[in-house]
Homo-oligomer: A and B are copies of this chain.
């Protein structure tokens, strides 16, 4: 590949450790602000992505739609959940990993399919294979569906699938199926189906508990649900979830995948979600436990403690301490 130069506005930089051809070089000349020039001698097919922010996601979500080699993710700026390594010391860090001092977290992903016209909807425009490719740069893995319908999109997501009301002011109304059985309807701003990795992202903002990436689970979190009692739930990895518009929904919904490929979902369409066979092996900086709690503290200020005691804490002290 020679020495392609790329300007990355991103704060993330990911190295695929499966090859010894790794020759990343940081050449920080004439950059302004957080921009970095990289000389990157590997994976020419990734080159385009390098000029973009959010490289890790581009790697994990779009490009690597199947098996993923171990990745070693560097943060160029502030620490992220997925980027425990400092870029400044990348040579040392990489060396240590090659020496074999590295733990791996297998970050599970979700395999998502969007099926159009599955449920006998009429008057539906269909997309040609060509259109799809142009639209999202992805080859649909399958073109037909066992039931009926057309699989118009299939991809792997690392964080979450979000179904929401899109630009509409109306509440979305979607039905959630688990292993073929309707388990509940979601009335509200939408619903998030996330991996444990995604539990610290949008799902956390929507009120979910945070799940360590080693827990084999899928999290379902409503977004501003109309029902006060709609608490997030955690189901076992491997179940098949399906989301459709509720029959009585007066509006369409919108779906996005790791924040991307945003598209409309209409009556008759469905989104099928299950655990992917292709997790992302992510190299730990310290270990599974340390990295995660360090990220919780650094990225989310989880349980940041106030030195001072709550006032109630020192109550009655006149009675007991005198």
Contact = CB atoms under 8 A, between A and B. Distances in A.
Given A51-B322, A224-B223, A232-B209, A311 B169 contact: no
A316 interface: yes
A279 interface: no
B312 A202 contact: yes
Given A159-B311, A289-B181, A311-B80, A208 B209 contact: yes
A188 B201 contact: no
Interface string A305-320: 1111111111111110
Nearest to A248: B309
A63 to B, nearest CB: 11
Contact of A318 (B52, B185, B235, B237): B52
Contact of A229 (B79, B81, B303): B303
Contact of A210 (B49, B206, B214, B233): B233
Given A187-B305, A289-B181, A304-B301, A209 B224 contact: no
A158 to B, nearest CB: 9
Interface residues of A, number: 100
A56 to B, nearest CB: 8
Interface in A179-231: 179, 181, 183-189, 196, 199, 201-202, 204-212, 214-217, 219, 221-231
Interface string A56-79: 011000000000000000000111
Given A52-B317, A228-B300, A234-B215, A312 B185 contact: no
11 contacts: A53-B314, A54-B315, A80-B311, A201-B312, A209-B234, A210-B231, A212-B236, A223-B224, A227-B229, A301-B301, A301-B304
